[in-house]
Structure 1
């Protein structure tokens, strides 16, 4: 929680971990929050790296910060990430008259990092929890591949918004006539995705494709965003909790959107308990990666009109969610 006299930062407002979707804010998910789920850290990070070594004098690092107008550098030793040094660290050294001291004396040794394949919302959560201004970005082998700041996230989202607007206008117009042009007693568009267990590199791809498809169909933006949050959480649950992954399916009709997942195990022992905020069966390894906070099913339930969950231990789980649009068409126009 932030102190009462300080306004919430953007990261605290949009951070997902620990944030329960209420009936009100589930309908007020804005495009910035949606993009924080869609964009990967690799999409917004800086790869123009300026680094230091542990034995380098602080005065030399200060010159690097001045020339490149940055506020911190990662510290590498034999190619491995050994720490991080900020301008604040150098100021502390200056106060003691120790600019000639080596970087190793003032750098932070316990480095908080974020993986390049994670979503921007994960980086936002890490910024919020750590109160840091910059984060090293690492690959699967924990090798440094970039740096990310809050400013990088802001710029990345702004660029994505501009690109999003330009590209989607034509596509949305073309696809929005789908249900109008097809004459039948009942028309259903079905999208099906095979989700692999522990495939964090592709986590969020299916939900991004689903949101994009709904927008191109001319879907009401708020309904699309609610659907996007729900399917993202469902997709990540298949990745995190299942033995062999599962199937994520979306069925779109003019007055209803049905989202469902099915897997073959391990199953949920106690569904009532699983629906409680903060309850999670995620492994310690998954928790160390920043997932498994126990808010997935809670956020799903808040974003949809109905949620049905059936599970048998050893056999698997079936999840069905629906968003109903009883008085409007999918595009938000009255139907009459």
Structure 2
């Protein structure tokens, strides 16, 4: 099995020059966590909900070495203020460039490995790109497991 066998093409792309607040409008109904960013036909990054929240948090909270328990923390206006700033920035400014990509002919084993390795990557999906770096698909843990389980015979 290859990446092209399990990838989904059910995604929409974002323009890097659009303000984040505007780019997120279609996201609310679709409940997407990651949206690919494409410029002139080339995949250049991903806007992630996780990264937006991460950037909105004060640095002393983001660094778990300082505070393991945040139950004491008040509802800080810093978060909404920072989120407003992020919403006004462009998708290019807010997107993650540290993403996992594979070719369509990448083995399923390599795809599964890419999904669980390198936890420092800001995205959770693996993005499938062709030789010209055109986005052709995305793969999450869900696609891998669904495809594998559909191939198995449990009637033994």
TM-score, normalising length from structure 2?
0.71
- Out of 24, 31, 38, the position equivalent to 1:69 is 31
- 1:222-279 superposed Cα distances (whole Å, 9 cap, x missing partner): xxxxxxxxxxxxxxxxxxxxxxxxxxxxxxxxxxxxxxxxxxxxxxxxxxxxxxxxxx
- Out of 123, 127, 135, the position equivalent to 2:111 is 123
- Out of 121, 134, 139, the position equivalent to 1:143 is 134
CA distance in 1 between partners of 2:53 and 2:26 (Å): 14
CA distance in 1 between partners of 2:115 and 2:133 (Å): 19
Q: CA shift at 1:67, angstroms?
A: 1.6
Q: CA shift at 1:56, angstroms?
A: 1.5
CA distance in 1 between partners of 2:99 and 2:55 (Å): 20
Q: Which has the higher contact order (CA 8 A, sep 6+)?
A: 2
Q: CA shift at 1:137, angstroms?
A: 0.5
Contact 1:42–1:116 (Cα < 8 Å) also in 2: yes
User: Structure 1 stretch 57-66 or stretch 116-125: which is displaced more?
Assistant: 57-66
Structure 1 residue matching 2:133: 3-state secondary structure: coil
- Indicate the structure (1 or 2) with the bigger Cα radius of gyration: 1
Q: CA shift at 1:93, angstroms?
A: 5.3
Q: 1:185-224 counterparts in 2 under 5 A?
A: none
Q: CA shift at 1:112, angstroms?
A: 2.4
User: Structure 1 stretch 146-155 or stretch 83-92: which is displaced more?
Assistant: 83-92
Across the aligned residues of Structure 1 and Structure 2, the Cα RMSD in angstroms comes to 2.1
Q: CA shift at 1:143, angstroms?
A: 1.5
**Number of residue pairs aligned between Structure 1 and Structure 2:** 126
- Out of 13, 27, 43, the position equivalent to 2:5 is 43
CA distance in 2 between partners of 1:109 and 1:123 (Å): 19
Q: CA shift at 1:159, angstroms?
A: 2.0
Contact 1:65–1:72 (Cα < 8 Å) also in 2: no
1:133 aligns with 2:124: yes
Structure 1, gaps ≥5 residues long: 1-38, 170-336
Structure 2, gaps ≥5 residues long: 57-78
CA distance in 2 between partners of 1:79 and 1:156 (Å): 28
Contact 1:136–1:147 (Cα < 8 Å) also in 2: yes
CA distance in 1 between partners of 2:147 and 2:27 (Å): 23
CA distance in 2 between partners of 1:110 and 1:134 (Å): 11
CA distance in 1 between partners of 2:92 and 2:4 (Å): 28
Q: CA shift at 1:148, angstroms?
A: 0.8
Q: 1:82-93 counterparts in 2 under 5 A?
A: 82-92=44-54
Contact 2:7–2:139 (Cα < 8 Å) also in 1: yes
Contact 2:7–2:137 (Cα < 8 Å) also in 1: yes
Contact 2:100–2:125 (Cα < 8 Å) also in 1: no
CA distance in 2 between partners of 1:40 and 1:89 (Å): 29
Runs (4 or more) in structure 1 with deviation over 3 Å come to none
